[in-house]
Chain A
Amino acid sequence: MSKIILIGINHKTAPVELREKLSFSDEETIAALEFLKQDEDIKESLIFSTCNRTEVLYIPETGEQVDKIIAFISQHKKVDISEFKSSLYIHKEDDAIRHLFRVASSLDSMVVGEPQILGQIKQTYRTAVENNASGVLLNRLMHKSFSIAKKVRKETGIGDNAVSISYAAIELANKIFSDLSQKSVMLLGAGEMAELAVEHLISNKVKDIVVANRTFKNAVDLAQKFNGQAVKFEEREDALKDVDIIISSTGATDYVLTETQVKQAMKKRHHHTLFFIDIAVPRDIDPKINTISNAYVYDIDDLKNIVESNIEQRGKETVKAERFIEEAVLKFRKWMESLAIVPTIKALNDKMSAIVEIECKKTLSNPNHFSQEDIEAIKRMTRAIATRTIHDPILFLRNTGDHRDDSLYLNVTRQLFNLDIPEEE
């Protein structure tokens, strides 16, 4: 029976320098898949490479071919085996299946629960299919990994909690304002932190961006980058009238916005909600502003606290996800086992006998028409027809020949005769 093997490195086993050296670009992946396809010892293969991991998932024709694959990686990436051998993990059979399911469900990610991984896995699968590198087994395995990933996302809270500062801030903004695309953002300070924060907000598409900075030139530069508008730092108080979210990251030692200033501004804006995100240390926004009605102030520590409690929550959901994965591994194993020759022939025979029995019962249900001998004869005949019908297919399955793919024909047979174990989805 075919073996599923997975060899790889990830962020847990290798530092970023090594991961970079071993990462496959799209073109490299295609070339590598082409190379593996030519190899007679490798039946199916698939290469998965992101910034956090490089993994080769394959099914050998004979033996395990582990050394061959390691040599292949070294050769393709021009990295000496001794350099990465100690960082490699080699998973076989159920462990390989489990590992793949965990990766797809984002349990193995650096940030557990992050949603990008599934898209990356789908892309990997598409590349493998387009290049004919994967076959019956890996295709089914990949499809199962997609559905388990979806189930984990849907039925556990693993993707629910923001576990980075900027996501936590955006999540808060979304619980304060109903539609961020109608809201304007003001940046106080034009540093790198401000830029990072805005990039996240931009992906949430806010209405306007206003930048205020002590050095006006930097404000203009940053505003230009995000199609925003620059104002003088002294104008910040006036600008409060028209913006809804304030992200502050200046290097000032004093508060750049005080309670009195915001109280004034609140009147001018008819007490429409203001949300302050203060990522500066020392703080820029007077924490007393939080006591003003309809004004909310979160500093960097508040955000960190939320992130920490979210991470804790995520840990609990992981246990549930692991259980789903364990079930999926078992199910896949069952399917793999059914793909052997003997169980398939048995399933085929059982199916035919069942049909014969049902049809005989229907025809012979009225005993008055037939004598006992007739009944026996009809039964014998139908059984003979059934046996003969499947005789050739069974013979074919027993001798699929030297270089033919057993699992392919077994899978086709199971599908043609609808022999698969019904799955509860």
Chain B
Amino acid sequence: MRAIRSIAVLLGLSLLISCSGGADRAAENTLHRGLQVGPETLDPHRSRSTEAGEILRDLGEGLVGYSPAAELVPAAAERWDVSEDGLIWTFHLRDGLRWSNGDALPAGHFVAGMRRLVDPATAAFYADKLIDVENAAAIVAGELSPEELGVEAPDDRTLVVRLERPIPYLLKLLTHASTFPVHPPSLAEHGDSFARPGRFVSNGAYRLVDWVPAALISLERNEYYWDNDTTAIDAVNYHVLVMSNAELSRYRAGDLHITASVPPDAFQMVREEYGDQLHVAPRLGVYFYGFNLARPPFADSLALREALSMAVDREQLVASVTGRGEQPAWSWVPPGVDNYTPPRLGFAALSKDERERLARLRYKEAGYGPDKPLQIELRYNTGDQHKKIAVAVQSMWRDVLGVEATLVNEEFGVLLSNIRAAEITQVFRSGWTGDYNDAHTFLDVMMGGNASNLTGYASEEYDQLMRRAAAQVDPDRRRLYMEEAERVMLSDHPLIPLYVYVNKHLIRPEVVGWEDNVLDYHYSRHLSLE
């Protein structure tokens, strides 16, 4: 008994000690943001998740950046020129760029960063980001050395990027963390684990102070940042909260200024009680059901695919099931993309009854009916929202067509590997979110042979239109080719676009400077606390 008592005393003491440390960190001017998943790394080149990207926008900086409304603005580069053929870009860096430890940041560090990205030894997930830069593909494949990359620094403030083909969205790529520089001496000293508190030297508005994996990332103002004078918030704490219900509780308890999401179940309550703090805005992302085009029954039955797509009542789905302000999706590229007007599915303009009538017609045409109902499996990955949507679509198909769909819930990795094997999958859930604001990020996926093309869609006509678009320097002609390509793809119905994602945040009234935008990028340095 005495032993137990002394253990209890010890534990109590350790509790007090371990907890008191945190208090002094909470400075007055600290922004608390929610995060749905802990970042897998803060190494800009090896990072993969949206969450890592979000923190890296505070910690690091590329040549180009975004304004609060997600418009392109100069960042580390103050201006740039491009050659007539669109192949050679020259960036002029700001004077006096520094790292968070005071070291100078010459253009050569950007070159070193981009070389590290494409170096096979780095094993970067986004090594493909710069694939159109001269020699990049060969370097990724291990055929050339990273030094051969078409990026060079003639002097400390000039950076030249040579492309193999014109890419109008290059500037948008250069905002991505994978193109950020990393501090070469830190990398040399600590190797792959340089992106840690106490080691990480960054070039953005903030520097890394503390990181408890899967829980908390603390940043503080970087005094050496070129635009430090306009940074209002001194410290930022990112709290990782995997369950969005838990995140909501933390917000309601006053622990967070900004949430990463709003749980669907509580949405109604939130709208009533926190209506003025709720921000809902469309996002560049589409939620879809894909068909396995490699196997029957969908391999060669356009009519069947179209019937299933028509039978889904998207308006009902967004109104009753997703219910957080999502918009029905009638195209693959969501609305709101710069310089692009997505074509719509042919039946988008029809009334619900008309659509259902046509759907039954097409269903019959495909050879199915009440005495021979289609029996399929609908696979979705684990998640309450995915489940609800699958149940709803299953019942819509049953009510309109008499389709007997079986729901198969699989954990994400299992589902993905089944989709990629293309053996047993029939209809599957997936989604696609644009990495940058250009139709290319969506349309490229549907090219034959693209690794992320999960349906296995391959159309010679589509690919040719896309190749034509890629060869255009003129943005308007490029746009027309891409719109035509999407029209071709939509009429082949390789997938069912269901709805366009929305960003959902709860934001305290004292947070100033927040602007909703389609990319959902919100730099902490643009915000302030009243």
A binds B: no
Residues of chain A at the chain B interface (Cβ within 8 Å): none
Residues of chain B at the chain A interface (Cβ within 8 Å): none
